[in-house]
Amino acid sequence: MDATIIDRFPEKTILVLGDVMLDRYVWGNVTRVSPEAPVPVVEVQSETCAPGGAANTANNIVSLGGKAVLIGMVGDDAHKEMLIKELEQRGIASQLLLDSRPTTTKIRVMGMKQQLLRIDYEYKHPIDDETGKKILEVIRDTPCDGIIISDYAKGIITQQLYNEILHLAEALKIPVFVDVKPRRQISYAGATVVKTNNKEACELAGVEEHNGDRLEEIGKRLVETLQSHVVITRGDKGVSVFSREGSTSHIPTKAKQVFDVTGAGDTFLAAFALAFASGESLEDAAALANHAAGIKVGKVGTASVTAEELRQELG
């Protein structure tokens, strides 16, 4: 793996389609327990916002030096305005379609850098065919070097939309990267790369969680089922790569102090897509992305990783 691959990131545009979210953080100190119930009292000191879900993937692409175009759904509400402001401040181009659902928002209450509570605003009904057609039109009109599908099971991805995106990508000869959620009844067969974590991989393969002894079986089964390269992130055990051609690679993770795993998968996929689209091999792209995710877990909250941080890590 050559760190100079990062120098090619500014030449690449990655289209990110998926469930966009707003991550709000309420930061404060905890010094006492409420007299009303056995819960901590958080004395609020500040509030911050950040792009979440698919928007966090786009944020990491831009932070790593690439260009991102974000496509998703938002509601006509105050959270939409907050999200748009965050995207504009970070230089993330977006095509956000209005829907009757609320803007998906996760509010995390943080006390002494620990998450105490999360409040979710969301609605998960699937989009209709007309909305799917609008999304496909936007994708057709957006030149890019790769497409990320970031599926958080909030309803924006349907089987028909995915199939049409796959046909379009095949015609344009660009890769499709999928971050899949097993609870969705959607087949992502045919994607260039399917990325999943260990728990999700077990669910996809229809086996119980394991301590590593069934990893090879699961990876090869998924490759056969999906007809895609499969990348399984395994936390502190690293990442395992299963290619369509039958090769397997296990990449260890450098030991780090973990503060927060929130958004680490988004960081991994952003770095992987940029590296792969820039000409890196499947295994080297996964190794680079593994380093990027390792940097992320050392940060609190939904935080992006910069190109300079990744260069220093690789160096």
Q: How far is the CA of 40 from the CAs of 29, 35, 114, 120, in angstroms? A: 10, 10, 12, 20
Q: Which of 145, 260, 266, 284 is catalytic?
A: 266
Q: What are the start-end ranges of the E strands in the chain?
A: 13-18, 20-33, 40-53, 67-75, 93-99, 105-111, 114-121, 146-150, 176-179, 193-197, 229-233, 239-242, 248-251
Length of the chain as a residue count: 315
- Contacts of residue 39, defined as CB under 8 A and 6 or more positions apart, other chains included, come to 33
Q: What is the CA radius of gyration of the chain?
A: 19
Q: How far is the CA of 265 from the CAs of 170, 268, 294, 310, in angstroms? A: 25, 5, 10, 16
Rounded to 5 degrees, φ, ψ at 90 are -95, 0
Q: Which of 227, 222, 199, 203 is nearest to 212 (CA)?
A: 199
The rounded distance, in Å, linking the Cα atoms of 122 and 237 is 32
**85, HSE (Cβ side, Cα atoms, 13 Å):** 10
The rounded distance, in Å, linking the Cα atoms of 80 and 65 is 25
List the structure tokens of 274: 């940029």
266 is catalytic: yes
The rounded distance, in Å, linking the Cα atoms of 301 and 304 is 9
Helices 264-277 and 282-296, axial angle in degrees (round to 10): 150
- Point out the residues that are catalytic: 266
